[in-house]
Structure 1
Amino acid sequence: MDDVVTDLPPPSRFLLEDLNNFTPPSQPLPSPFLVFSNLDSNKSFHPSLLIVAMSSPSLHFLHHLSFKTLIGALVLPEFAFSGNTVEPSLGDKSCNIYALNHSDKLIMIALVQYSVTAERSHEVSKLLIGERIIPERVLILDSVQSRYFRGKLSPDDIFAVKLETSLERKSSDTGDSPLIKGLDYFSSGSVVDGLAAALLSRCQLKKIKGTLCVSWPHFGISVMSLIKSLLLKDVLAGINPSSDMNLESGYLSFSRRKDLHLDSELYT
């Protein structure tokens, strides 16, 4: 006869791992993909520079950049098109890809206007770098994530710092100037994750000169002016930024609305 005191009891029907045995696995999401215009549908691109913008200040500035041409988009199936406008808008959940000819060189710009999860970051980075799009250089523009930053961040702090691939850091040794000049490097002990980290890792893996520039705070006219100044001085010198004379004032009203929704923990 079994000893009801010392024998191990059978598994409980209420254990979570047992309940999961009867739950059908969720369907995997379809893979992201690139869509280009008919003329470019089977073409590979070799731009001198690929700019991937994710931060609010960089998205706002580059959206208003003159003389760029929409040539394609990166589609994440989990984001529906139903809420997007016909013409590209900063309010859309999209990733439009533009071409910009500057000094007889092709520059491509990807405006990532949705939040890419960590699970999808490597898939997206492979599409943007190294398959159909093979750039000589890459610039990634993102914001500092306060939870991964070593030290306290105040809303009154305004700064931008950078990380570079080993090949980019050796540019000065080979006679090339750094893509972004005059910026300090990201502080030791701080971490970058998500799509920005995946893109920079992709550059390192493919031996492409890559620079990640992260700025703080997430919103505000001052940080947008800082990013605008860096791009026009070092990256897009000679480019007309916008035909809209109210670029700064437009972003000021936009960032004020966004600030109302920010969690106070961003600034701790």
Structure 2
Amino acid sequence: MVSRKFKRKWWNRFMLSLTILATGIALVPLASILVYVALKGLPALNWEFFTQLPKAVGEPGGGLANAILGTIILVLLAAGIALPLGILTGIYLAEFGKDRVAFIVRFLCDVLTGVPSIIVGIVVYSTVVLTMKRFSALAGGIALAIIMLPLVARSTEEMLRLVPHSLREASLALGATQGRTIRSVVLRSALGGIVTGAMLAIARVSGETAPLLFTALNSRYWPTGLDERIASLPVYIFTYSTTPYEDLHRLAWGAALVLVTMVLGTSVAARLAAKKVNGGK
């Protein structure tokens, strides 16, 4: 007769094998996309790609240096707006949100998360672009920030809720104020998860095209100010991929590879920074 210990041992191995298999299956599409984009995009990457402006249609050569810089500006602008507001909202929902206002905020965040990005672009176009009477980097940053905000807020709330209440109670018992407890104990414990949520939000907006078509539009020149039109990699990928020219298709694949690399590099750097803050844990 098979012992209960033997059954548990083999059942544990069976379930572990299933989880490893499921993880491998989930990684196949991701690896396939990364490899395919790398193979198609690498031939387009050269010094000219990173330093020169786009050429006119039909002319060989040129690069997307203005789009790379424009994408960085738009993402930084969106992050500068959405991250502080989203993290503070998440802190309120996790630590103080036990009333009707918190319920409404959570509901609005959940609804806003599911709103198509093109609707956000249209709203910002109606409220910001028409008011300024021009397309601008500022309008594009606001549109991306609106998309990021609910993702950051809800992920921050969930990460803070995972921090054991015993840590809060210990800090308060030692005489720390609630604000000091949240800042030095709760936020520090949940920093890795908060950073991960922020990076997921940045990755989400980095590839958005529809909102930028209504707000920042596009430009063939270097950025000159936040109140002017600005180039971006997603818009150039969309524009170039729909043309019949092979040179532009090649540049579109190169732009896609650069965009993916930027997102991966930012995620890795943020995780390493969070790990260092947590003392290498």
Shorter-chain TM-score tier: under 0.3
Between 1 and 2, higher relative CO (CA 8 Å, sep ≥ 6) is seen in: 2
> With structure 1 as the length reference, what TM-score do the two structures score?
0.25
Greater percentage in helix: 2
Greater percentage in strand: 1
